[in-house]
Amino acid sequence: MPYSVSKLTDFSTRALDEAITDVRDALREEAVAVSDQTQFKVHRDRWLARKNGILTQIRDLWLKQAPPEARAEVGKRFNELKDQVENILQTQKMELELRAAEKVASKRIDTLAEWKSMALGPSVDITLPGIRRSLGAEHPVIRTMHEMIGVFRNLGYSVEEGPEIETDFYNFEALNFPPNHPARDTQDTLFIAGQESKPLRDRLLLRTHTSPVQIRTMQKMKPPVRVVCPGKVHRNDALDATHSPIFHQIEGLAVDTNITFCDLKGTLDHAMKAMFGSSVKTRFYPSFFPFTEPSADAQISCIFCDGKGARDGAPCRNCKASGWIELLGCGMVDPNVYGFVDYDATKVSGFAFGMGVERIAILKYGVDDIQLFFNGDVRFLEQLG
C-alpha cells in the first residue's frame, strides 16, 4: 500500500525516530516496483514534488505544526530525512541508467570506466562537478533606463516605443523644425543614402531623439495622454568623453486640459528626487526648443558637493563649482505641434521633457567617460553589476 503522511501527535525523540524509519522503509519498498526511467520520474515526483510531494506534506504536517519547543528538533530531523531521500533517489536513478546501458550493450557493466567507454553518446563523468553558467546582470545603461521608466510608471505614465529609422516628417517637420533648421544638416543628422528623389518629409534618417514617438502617440490617441518614450537615438557627433553617436533617451509627454508649467516643474522635481534622493533641489531657466514654448533647461543641485560648489576644500569639478548640474530640456508643447496631430490647441495644453539615459547613469555611478558604457569591457561592467 502506498505510503501516506499522517499527522504527528507525539513529538518525542522515540516517536520521531519511528516515524522517520517508517518513511525510509516506505521509500525503499516503493522503489522496488520501479523498473524503468518513466516509472522513476513518477516515483521521484511523488516524493519530491514541491506542491504535494511526500516531503512537502511532511514539512507541512510535522514541522509547521510542531509545538514551539519541539520545532528545532523536528526541523533538524526533517533536513536529515530530506538529504537521505534525495540520496536514495539519486542512487536509484544511477542504477536504472546503468541497467539501461547494460541492456543496450548486452553485457554486464562492472566498472565506471566500462560505462564511460560505451558508445552511447557523449561521455559524461558523473563524478565531476557540474558546469554552472555564470549569471549576468543588467547593463548599467539599461538598468538606469528601467529605473527612470519605473519612476514615471508610478506617476501613471505608460510606455510607448517607435522605429529607430524615421521619416523627416516625424523627426523634424511635425515637431515644428523649420526647413532650414541646423539640425537637418548632415553634420548633425545621419540620413539614409539614396533618398534625394523623395519629397523632404518622406526621406529616411536615423532618429535624433525619441520625440517622433510622441507624435505617433498623439496621432493614435486623444487626450488625456501621459507617456514616456525610451529608446536608442543617433546623432552625427564625434566620440569623446561626453559624446557618442549612439546613446539612449527617455522623453515624456503629458497632454490634457489645464496643464500648466507648474505641473511640469512638480513632475520633474518629484522624478529627480526619486532618482537622486529627497535632498536634491531643482531649478529651471529659459532655453529654446522648436517644439516647446516656453522652453527651459532643468538643473539639479550637485549630488557630489551637495550644491555647495566645493568639495574637500577644492572647487567641485562635477558642477564646475556652480553647485548645479544641467540634466534635461523641457517645456510646454508648442501649439503649432498640435496642428500636426489634429488636437485643438484652444482646449488642451501639455508639457514635454527629454533626458539622456547615459547622462543620468554617469551621475549615478560616478563614471567619467561615456565610452566605457559601449566598449563592452567586462572588467568595467563587473564593477557596476
Q: Does any domain span residue 6?
A: no
Residues 182 and 108 in one domain: no
Per-residue pLDDT tens for 3-52?
888 888 888 888 888 888 888 888 888 888 888 888 888 888 888 888 88
Grid cell locating 320: 564646475
The average pLDDT across 336-357 equals 93
pLDDT for the residue 385: 67
Residues 280 and 358 in one domain: yes
pLDDT for the residue 158: 96
Domain encompassing residue 94 = 13-117
Q: Does any domain span residue 26?
A: yes
Residues 197 and 322 in one domain: yes
Q: Does any domain span residue 223?
A: yes
Q: Does any domain span residue 172?
A: yes
Q: Does any domain span residue 124?
A: no
Query: How does residue 360 score in pLDDT terms, banded at 50, 70 and 90?
Result: very high
Residues 96 and 243 in one domain: no
Burial of 184 (C-beta count, 10 Å sphere; 0-12/13-18/19+): buried
Identify any residues that bridge with 230 across adjacent strands, giving them in sequence order.
Answer: 250
pLDDT for the residue 118: 52
Q: Does any domain span residue 135?
A: no
Q: Which residue has the higher pLDDT, 362 or 120?
A: 362
Query: How far apart, in whole angstroms, are the C-alpha atoms of residue 356 and residue 96?
Result: 59
Q: Spell out the residues 6+ positions from residue 81 whose beta carbon is closer than 8 angstroms to its own.
A: 20, 23, 24, 55, 58
pLDDT for the residue 120: 47
Look up the pTM and report it. 0.63
pLDDT for the residue 333: 95
Residues 349 and 286 in one domain: yes
Count of structural domains within the chain: 2
**pLDDT, averaged across the chain:** 86
Domain boundary residue among 84, 117, 150?
117
The average pLDDT across 248-264 equals 95
The average pLDDT across 258-284 equals 94
Residues 239 and 199 in one domain: yes
Q: Does any domain span residue 4?
A: no
Domain boundary residue among 49, 82, 117?
117
The average pLDDT across 119-132 equals 66
Angle 348-353-357 from CA coordinates, rounded to 5°? 150
Comparing 103-107, 175-179, 196-200, which segment has the lowest mean pLDDT?
103-107
Residues 158 and 63 in one domain: no
Contact 7, 61 (CB under 8 A): yes
Q: Does any domain span residue 5?
A: no
